[in-house]
Amino acid sequence: MQILHFDIKPQNILHDENLKPKILDFGLAKLYPVEDSIVRLTRARGKFGYMAPEMLYKNIGGVSYKADVYSFGMLLMEMVSRIKNVHASTEHLSQIYFLTWIYDQFHDEKNIEIQDAIEDERKICKKMMIVALWCIQLKPSDHPSMNKVVKMLEGDVECLQVPL
């Protein structure tokens, strides 16, 4: 069995005494067999801004473990940009504008401002942003697995390509 959390967001991540992250609130989570690649749902689950598009739009693809990969990508973007991707009054629009802003910054080769950052920190931020862009691809089939995400984050930024 494997678990699909459906609610990966900053409020559901805490750190233990060794600063290791711990995911909380499994109220929306669903257990499903490893051999099942698609999960059947009767309604969307999670919070706008972190919810994968396939949760809302069935024509994009089936819901799978990659829905949590999308949510993780949104968290990475928030950490690097220091900008919250949703605002209570405009949840749908702010997500679109946040993603558009991130892509514009990246493709215009503008650095997201990181005050007092040294070159190594800038490289780490660039790597996190590239990985995040892979995680939030529109089609679930284009999202990397979490194993691949970990490998990308542990690897060298020069080996990463920006998704189109």
- The residues spanned by each domain of the chain are 46-156
pLDDT at 101: 64
pLDDT at 94: 46
Q: Which positions of the chain have pLDDT values less than 70?
A: 1-7, 24-49, 55-63, 83-117
7 a catalytic residue: yes
State the catalytic residue, choosing from 7, 36, 116, 156: 7
Angle between helices 146-154 and 66-81 in degrees, nearest 10: 30
pLDDT at 93: 47
pLDDT at 149: 92
Q: What Å distances lie between residue 13 and 7, 10, 22, 30, 50, CA to CA?
A: 10, 5, 6, 18, 13
Please tell me the CATH superfamily of domain 46-156, with its number: Transferase(Phosphotransferase) domain 1 (1.10.510.10)
pTM to 2 decimal places: 0.67
pLDDT at 63: 67
